[in-house]
Amino acid sequence: METLFSQATEAIKREARALLESGEVAAFLGFAKGSIPTVTRPFVARSPEETDKLIWNGLCVMNLANYLPGLLKSLEPARRPGEPPPEGPLPKVGVIATGCWSRNMVIQIQENQLIRERLVILGIDSPGMIDRRKLESLAGGKEIQAIEEAEKKVVISGKGFRLETARQEVLRDNCLTCTHPSPVILDKKIGPTMPERHVHEPFARIEEIERMDADSRWAWFQKEIECCIRCYACRNACPLCYCPTCFVDDSHPQWVGKSVDPVDTAIFHILRAYHCAGRCTDCGACESACPMGIKMRLFTRKLQKDCLELFASEPGLDINSPLPLTTYGPEDPERFIINGSKQQGTQGGK
Ligand code: SF4
Ligand code: SF4
Ligand code: SF4
């Protein structure tokens, strides 16, 4: 059966092959099948023949913006430290971008991690991506051996079972509250354009947590991160976390302990969330990557809500708008500065 996904897969293969055959790009970044049916993997095609491996479906959840700076760097001619880049244009990369990934690319361009001219972006509107944990929960612990996906439904099957569910039921939490499915920068469109979505109460879960008193909120936070094994898969999946040495890996000075001590773990999560403040596009890659099912996206979602309320800012929507924490406007709220310590605990009313 032909679906939006199978049509998009064919279009991506066709466009990627043409880009590689013409020499316009040196590599194309997309997705290939993973080792089990519920997982896909980022994949770099470096020859026209390799584009046959490209796929597109609702399980393509890793944010491709994360891999672009490293891939582009790997295509540059080797040079000694301090040696200037070679003259002439550097090799380009083709890449697929949905709404949130394209916004991360905008942020990377704004933060001088990417050069727009070195990208050929195939933009694709996202119908919402699938949460493999929701599929696994539907299967009730049985091994999923095949997945069929259509516009409105998903069918999973395995030994002795075949189950159908509405696609909406198994979408990732971030996709359920996504309002901008269309890429904001692109060179060629794949598939149909989807309208901006109206989401009723997009921050409902955050507001629920905000209504807790401080002790309950702290207890909720500790409970949420108690099974964190500090594997850093969440950080490694995030296109915002490109620091050459992350603060958790530094040992001179050592900012935070390396163990799974609850205080060290809390510091990791609080600091990482704040490092993403005003930059996070709610792509959900961090949560999809976590082996422990921790909903750490809620921490960045809270800061997203604050940025929207305090600075009317949504990251990456406009390449010409500076990121909220790298600029200053006279109308910016600064109650904590004006009113001093009396107001500090109620900054932003939270
Ligand atoms: S958590 Fe902070 S320091 Fe670590 S990589 Fe991310 S942004 Fe950099
Ligand atoms: S913090 Fe998570 S949701 Fe936000 S941009 Fe990074 S990976 Fe995406
Ligand atoms: S991916 Fe999950 S377990 Fe690993 S560090 Fe992040 S929150 Fe902890």
Residue 231 lies in a domain: yes
User: Ligand 1 centroid vs 90 CA: distance in angstroms?
Assistant: 28
Q: What atom in ligand 3 is closest to the CA of residue 265?
A: 8
Residue 310 lies in a domain: yes
- Average pLDDT value for residue range 276-298: 97
Give the pLDDT confidence of 131-142 residue by residue, as tens digits.
999 999 999 999
215 & 95 share domain? no
Count of domains for the chain: 2
pLDDT greater than 70 at residue 231? yes
Give the pLDDT confidence of 55-87 residue by residue, as tens digits.
999 999 999 999 999 999 999 988 888 888 788
Q: Which residue has the higher pLDDT, 251 or 58?
A: 58
When pLDDT is cut at 50, 70 and 90, the band that residue 342 belongs to is very low
For the chain, give percent helix, strand, coil, nearest 5: 40, 15, 50
Residue 151 lies in a domain: no
184 & 208 share domain? no
Gap between the Cα atoms of 28 and 267, Å rounded: 37
User: Ligand 1 centroid vs 231 CA: distance in angstroms?
Assistant: 14
74 & 219 share domain? no
User: Ligand 1 centroid vs 235 CA: distance in angstroms?
Assistant: 7
**DSSP states of 222-274:** HHHHTT-----HHHHT-TT---SS-TTT--TT--S-SS--HHHHHHHHHHHHH
Residue 151 is predicted with a pLDDT of: 84
182 & 210 share domain? no
> What predicted TM-score, i.e. pTM, was given to this entire model?
0.92
Residue 167 lies in a domain: no
Question: Of all protein residues, whose CA lies closest to atom 6 belonging to ligand 3?
Answer: 234
Residue 57 lies in a domain: yes
Q: What atom in ligand 1 is closest to the CA of residue 272?
A: 1
183 & 208 share domain? no
339 & 252 share domain? yes
User: Ligand 3 centroid vs 34 CA: distance in angstroms?
Assistant: 21
Residue 97, domain extent: 4-81+90-131+173-190
Q: Which residue has the higher pLDDT, 347 or 76?
A: 76
pLDDT greater than 60 at residue 99? yes
Residue 338 lies in a domain: yes
- Average pLDDT value for residue range 222-241: 97
